[in-house]
Structure 1
Amino acid sequence: MSTLFAHGQNVDSAHTAHDAALAAGRVPVRTELPGLAPAWVIIGDEQARAALVDPRLGKDTTLVTATIRAQATAAGYPTPTWLSRMFNGLLFLDGPQHSEERRVLAGAFTARRVRELRPRIKDITARLLDNLHQAEESVVDLVQHVAGAVPLTVICELLGIPEPWRARFRELTLALMQDDPAINLPASDELGAFLVELVAGKRADADRGHQGADLTSALLDLDTERLVDILVLVFVAGHETTVNLIGNTMLALLRHPPLWRDAAQRPDLVAEMVEETLRWDAPVRTATHRVTLEPVVYGGVEIPAGELVMVSLEAANRDPDQWEDPTAFDPARHPRGHLAFGLGPHACLGASLGRAEAQIVMRQITARFPDATLAEPVMRLRRTVSSIMNGLTALPVALRPA
């Protein structure tokens, strides 16, 4: 069995593993999901596009969780007695239920709503960068102070999460993304409890005639359990993926110093730089868990019914059949058509917001610090321990204000 998701390695190790899987042929790879269960991983652009819209690959919560437990037991893994709240809600629904959940949330992420949010995102970013200008430290962790801070503030304001809670919410999200159940399950429980309290407070405010303008307040007609499942998804997916996108874009440009300086001098180039990062170093490594509802054939390999399946967005975005010289970072390729945000009915609702945040941050930070450089060798940087998320644990950078 492959170890496609080996952990504790440097920032390029996962890319190397997925590139090697592509080189071996575009056939499904049987691998281990650390701390969870064995699974098949779909490799290659054409295969990924087919799998992401394949109705024979189910997403239903009950089916996915039952399959994870069955596969874990069969492989001799500890059988999870319960799973993270991330396995509830929109990501793990099919058919009309899924369509209804997307409809409930769609209004919060329209192009018009993102345009309305842009001035506030600019203000948040400028304030955080002002703090960096005033800091005495010459080396700053940009994941903690920028890439993590901007999306956290944006999503918390969107959901109406009080400021005193936000640091803890960030910690819980980081824990929730870990593959180790001893870490992610308690975090899931605590995050859910916080959000139950949030909903109760919003309901009390509404009963007193003080209806909030945030998304949580707008959805109070839903029952608490359903609303909390939605909030878990929106909070985690709505900021953790953007943290990864911003951090990965910073790293890509810092690894190519002329591009960082180009961004400082030509902010109009930033959108393409963010887009190429989405292809070259996407914030999500694999699409979330699916289950074969019947036997399926990919790359000439039959996957039986009842098997856990992941789709490698990373491998699809680096497939040489789709992209010329795919391992090179080249914003001039105008990389439209990547799968960083998925495809089909489960494509990311927050793609426009994520792009907007990343573009705003990169324009401002390169303008403020045009001569910034990495403070540690790339080989010493590390990724989050996750088979799904693809983000940096830290990004130490020497800042040199203009």
Structure 2
Amino acid sequence: MSNKVYYKGKEISLSELSKYTNVPYSTLVRRYNAGKRGEELWNDDKKNIKVTYEGKEISLLELSKLINISYSVLLERYKNGDRGDELLKRKRKRIIVDYKGENISLGELSKRTGIPYNTLLNRYNEGKRGDELLHEYGKTKIHVMHEGKEISLLELSKITGIKYVTLFQRYKNGKDLLQTKQKRTNDNYNVMYKGKEVDLVELSKITGIKYGTLLYRYKNGKRDEELWGNSNAKDKKGGTRKPKIHVMYKGKEISLIELSRITGINYSVLYQRYKKGGKIEDLLKRKTKFNVMYEGKEISLTELSEITGIKYITLVTRFKKGNNLLQENKRGGHKGSKLKAEYDGEELTLSQISKITGIPLSTLHRRYRKGIRDRRLWARNIRIK
């Protein structure tokens, strides 16, 4: 329903009125629904309420800026019928105090002493007078004796190297200002690091790991790389960096992360087994060995995973549910060996091409579904629209 109003003798909509008056449409609707009509509908109070100030007619908004009284305060007074001096009066009560034998206001005292007005006002309201009112709690005003000389707490901080806040807390609590922290002992916790026996304090300095962190790990039974490995460090993507643990696999030394990718066994499972001191055979053991028939030959799910490129955990899930192990996924095509393309004059499966080129199988599948069959299928750093 279109709300029509009269503006300069012409009936127009609120939308048109908004364009003519530059008043937001939502504001006009709100005022219209509140029952306002005529000038009340489009007039901006801040611009149209006029008052006389020093013989000149100005808006309430301009008056607010000139005398530094909030517009909302002035508007409230104006609505209550206040005009002239009543409109301009300040509510703040003038507080008079004695300063060096002279009666002055709190505002004047603030200017002379440099102490913020609000600070003086808070102290005055707390009942403080005289020196208590003017007392500065700054860093330079607390004095102590040091080597037979009276100096400020700030100077003592610079001389001793002890943080000012530490000295201030000790001063407030009545403690010895120059007390030294109790020397940390490592309770003879010695470990072997790169063929050398060192204590935890030395290990902390060498590795840059906090002593408290090393002590906590040590007491929880962690040794060697688990003790000083930066297991909580963040990688470039913001994830937790896994400690670099290497094992021998098929005559080659690889990291535990690589072993996880090759075998399909979760890294955390391999890591827990490694912590227990298991051999490579123990690391790779499966709780249950699932054997299936593939191309007339009985093989394990691990072998099927390596052949087809389907994740081991996916095969296990399908096996337990009785589903087709090589079923097509929702996106079309399966991670098996049926999708083929020509590579260097030979027809190979996408899984085989992935292993040869190092291009992820998922990338090959995505390109394959887009109809790419030439060298762009396994090319690196190409953009496909």
Band of TM-score, shorter chain: under 0.3
**Which has more strand, going by share of residues?**
2
**Which has more helix, going by share of residues?**
1
Higher relative contact order, chain-length normalized (CA < 8 Å, sep 6+): 1
TM-score (norm 1): 0.15
Larger Rg: 2
TM-score (norm 2): 0.16
